[in-house]
């Protein structure tokens, strides 16, 4: 299955492709039906996998698309750069989500100002798609990176990212290092571009005492605000995602050190089940905290199929 997005994120297409999907799942023929078939097109996507928008498709097409979205393997393609990702192979690694693609949209608009960039670092690389996009886009523009380094605390994420990056690296030397849970970031050298799609949903301190989870809260943003200047080469840029659910807390941290510019923004549903389900004591406490501390609003009736939303902003941080 291929999920393809246009450069402006104005639409996404969901395709069946290849022998298994065309001939086995659909019982078709590559010879008669071709190597790929369009299953659905969704305008102005706000999620990579949007159950509500899929539910609005005609019933037979709806059921078919739901079946394909349940497959473990998918190809995510944005602006001609694709990642072949199999959740069964990398079960703890997140496939690129809408925030990932929003960063890519921001990077695409920023490419002319990155013409002198020769080195890049991604902190918390996950699948590696942000690094892959930056590397491929600069190479396509005739300005390939000399060096690209990725960091993550999950060995599976490192394997996933390096597999994707090494396949496309060509003139760029790619490398990776494994972080340690609870340790400070270990970064050697300075980079022209530092990318980070961090955890950005603020959580009450009481939840950290119950069970610490490095993918929750905003402590990574705090550390980057405090130490990120040491990771940047002269004239370098830090590109990261923040949410309206942490804005008031993290912006003073960033602005104390950096000149901050908003590159792009998008309203998206809050679709993190550990936060929103309200089936667990933790989830109920988290939602109550966000309503009180961050003004999270519940839409009744739901807004476009979802009752809680956030605004994601992509920021460029430069040294003052």
**Residue 209 pLDDT:** 56
The CA distance from 97 to 266, in Å, is 13
* Co-location of 99 and 61 in the same domain: no
* Co-location of 119 and 254 in the same domain: yes
Tell me the per-residue pLDDT of 212-251, one tens digit each, with 9 for 90 and over: 555 578 989 999 999 999 999 999 999 999 999 999 999 9
DSSP state, 230? G
**Residue 115 pLDDT:** 84
Mean pLDDT of 97-124: 96
Beta strands (DSSP E) in 44-132 are 73-78, 81-86, 119-123
* Co-location of 104 and 197 in the same domain: yes
Q: Which residue, chain included where needed, has tokens 């899929």?
A: 54
For residue 107, being part of any structural domain is answered with yes
CB 85 within 8 A of CB 75: yes
Q: What are phi and psi for residue 157, nearest 5 degrees?
A: -65, -40
DSSP state, 22? I
Tell me how many domains the chain contains: 2
The confidence band for 121, taking pLDDT boundaries of 50, 70 and 90, is: very high
The confidence band for 181, taking pLDDT boundaries of 50, 70 and 90, is: confident
The CA distance from 283 to 132, in Å, is 34
Of all residues in the chain, the percent with pLDDT exceeding 70 is 97
Query: What predicted TM-score, i.e. pTM, was given to this entire model?
Result: 0.94
Expressed as residue numbers, the domain containing 56 is 2-71
* Co-location of 152 and 195 in the same domain: yes
CB 145 within 8 A of CB 170: no
For residue 136, being part of any structural domain is answered with yes
Mean pLDDT of 68-82: 97
Tell me the per-residue pLDDT of 133-157, one tens digit each, with 9 for 90 and over: 999 999 999 999 999 999 999 999 9
Residue 253 in tokens? 């941290």
Give the burial string for 70-98 (b: 16+ CB within 10 Å, else e): eeeebbbbbbebbbebeeeebeebbbbbb
The angle formed by the CA atoms of residues 293, 257 and 194, to the nearest 5 degrees, is: 95
* Co-location of 162 and 52 in the same domain: no
Position 183 pLDDT exceeds 80? no
């Amino acid at each position: 299955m291929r999920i393809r997005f246009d450069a402006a994120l104005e639409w996404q297409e969901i395709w069946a492709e290849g022998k298994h999907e065309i001939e086995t799942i659909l019982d078709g023929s590559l010879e008669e039906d071709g190597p790929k078939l369009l299953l659905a097109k969704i305008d102005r996507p706000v999620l990579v996998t949007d159950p509500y928008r899929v539910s609005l498709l005609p019933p037979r097409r709806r059921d078919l698309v739901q079946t394909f979205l349940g497959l473990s393997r998918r190809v995510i393609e944005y602006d001609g750069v694709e990642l072949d990702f199999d959740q069964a192979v990398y079960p703890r690694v997140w496939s690129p989500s809408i925030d990932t693609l929003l960063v890519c949209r921001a990077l695409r608009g920023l490419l002319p100002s990155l013409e002198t960039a020769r080195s890049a670092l991604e902190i918390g690389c996950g699948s590696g798609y942000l690094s892959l996009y930056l590397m491929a886009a600069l190479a396509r523009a005739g300005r390939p990176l000399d060096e690209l380094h990725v960091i993550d605390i999950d060995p599976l994420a490192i394997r996933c990212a390096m597999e994707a990056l090494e396949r496309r690296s060509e003139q760029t030397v790619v490398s990776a290092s494994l972080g340690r849970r609870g340790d400070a970031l270990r970064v050697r050298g300075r980079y022209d571009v530092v990318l980070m799609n961090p955890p950005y949903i603020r959580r009450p301190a009481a939840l950290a005492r119950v069970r610490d989870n490095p993918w929750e809260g905003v402590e990574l943003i705090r550390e980057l605000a405090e130490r990120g200047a040491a990771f940047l080469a002269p004239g370098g840029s830090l590109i990261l995602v923040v949410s309206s659910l942490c804005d008031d807390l993290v912006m003073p941290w960033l602005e104390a050190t950096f000149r901050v510019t908003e590159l792009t923004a998008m309203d998206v549903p809050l679709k993190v089940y550990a936060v929103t389900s309200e089936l667990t004591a933790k989830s109920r406490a988290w939602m109550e905290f966000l309503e009180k501390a961050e003004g999270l609003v519940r839409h009744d009736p739901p807004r476009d199929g979802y009752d809680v939303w956030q605004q994601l902003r992509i920021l460029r941080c430069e040294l003052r």
